[in-house]
Chains A and B, each alone.
Chain A
Amino acid sequence: MSEKISLAHGDGGELAHQLIQEVFVSAFEHHEHARLDAALLHVPSNKLAISTDSFVIKPVFFPGGNIGKLAIVGTVNDIAVSGAEPLYMTVGFILEEGFLIKDLKEIVTAMAEEAKKANVKIVAGDTKVVERGSVDGIFINTTGVGVIKEENFLPRKIKEGDSVIISGTIGDHGVAILSARGELGLLTDLESDCACLNRLIDDIMSASNKVKIMRDPTRGGVATTLVEICEDFKVAIEIREDDLPIKPEVEGACDLLGFEPLYLANEGKLLVIVAKEDEAKVLEVMKKHELGIDATSIGHVVEQGEGKLFLKMTLGSRRRLNRLSGIQLPRIC
């Protein structure tokens, strides 16, 4: 087999067939579906959760993962935070002519591994090859299907006093990617937190029936995700600067670059809003899970300020946080 992807790998001919057999089918093990044009699936519920996402990350390989792992994790998490159990996935690749097949194999292997860990089956796929320069190496789209049990329907009504919990340190993925780009010199060798959250979520959902809503704070970070919750559900949330779990490496990198950890992407972190009375219970089960060891309560739902997110500062004042808005321009006069 050749070393690099060529346009012929995408034309449906012999080379394409080879690529599918050697790279995809062997990794994803979906022999039976491969014979039909569509995957026929059984689902144990009449309520489905479907989510789709495209991944275009740079660099393709980074400490703690690669674009393939991320493509699985991103979609699995989007399904899981809705309260559903992710079951099936489709994957679509757009490859740039000249992309290394070795790299593609590594990416596909990571996908297969991650899907297995998450107990999700990859049931359909597609590959296109485009001319050099039309994409940057590799783009992946994934679509996931999950089922949801009636007793797990989210969101539940958010109330004043509800607790806001984060499953671990914030901003790790953002800083890992920045470092991995190598442009900035080595900021830190921190790994991305990239991980599937569905097992952790299972445990939380079985421990408490007072979880109000869950989100994975990816692009835009914890702040943007919480602002969206505040706006969508017309509630006000206050988080506490002092209680935010942030790794020293992340703090250091942010200090250098003038970024705020609250706005950095995470790929394996979970935000849970839960009734105050179940806070301790949920924290306990989270801490038992390897992805939730550093779980901590960072804030709560407050009465005043519908639609707004506040940050209680160490020195006593409160700052309003807004969603990430492109480049942060100085406001200091």
Chain B
Amino acid sequence: MRDQSATILDVANLRTVFNTRDGQVFAVNDVSFYLRPGELLGIVGESGSGKSVTMMSLLKLLPMPPAEIQGGSIEFDGRDIRNVPDDELRKIRGGDIGFIFQDPMTSLNPVFTVGFQIIEPLRVHMGLNKKQARKRAAELLELVGIPDASARLKDYPHQFSGGMRQRVMIAIALACDPKVLIADEPTTALDVTIQAQILELIKDLRQKLGMAIIWITHDLGVIAEIADRVAVMYAGQIVEHAEVKELFANPQHPYTRALLETLPKMGEARGTRLASIDGQPPNLDHLPVSCEFAPRCKHAFDRCRAENPQRRDVSPAHDVACFWDYSSGGPTDA
């Protein structure tokens, strides 16, 4: 299932829980995935499926409490970072792993100049002096395609448009040459043309800098365009994982299939109703004891309601957490 030799990030059985007043919310349940240097892993799923929480758990960026990482191991670059001391973790945040967030309108501090905000990690992690950091900050802005970069360092975030602010966020995330870039729905808040520009930029930067990227999105179209591998999340679990071509050509989980069916098709007659998945995403107030997708699944049978399916390999580098076997058109052997 995994190639241990050449991974930069290896997460196994991660479990994150929110302790709320109304009880526990099991946001991430036994999530395992890996990332190889230079590759782009896409994570897809609906809102609330635990995509962002998984990634923020890696660097403990969730407010704790209420969040609590209850189990699992996170191996980054050969060492376990789940239990490293805080100052060690801070070196990884922003240094080895860069983070881009969803909403560029609120992710930058409104009262500091863009230059100040790019320079901060440079001084903390790379130990540059003011002058060097300024120079590098200007280079970074240029790299992410902001014209007249050195003059714009003095500008405040509100003087930038949404797409430009996301470019600034990318510049901050890339400031210290990270080995891994985690992009949490970086194009969701942007309109489609800007989205395309940002996708191009990331593709371009990936070629230039060669870092590994985890791209969180709910947009399968984006995934098809840029990802190498895809993990599909549902109810805090990874339900299917495959190379991107394999996933689109041969989806094995009913949820993945349903997702793909919801995509509007080119050349479809106008007026056709868009496909949707019936039912609601499940409540996460309990640990999964059965298949969480069963109530919405057209193949669900008794076993699905009694047991939570574990991920099983269907082919090398393709696994699925489902008891239904599409190749035989019936349940898998128990």
Asked if A pairs with B, the answer is: no
Q: Which residues of A contact B (CB under 8 A)?
A: none
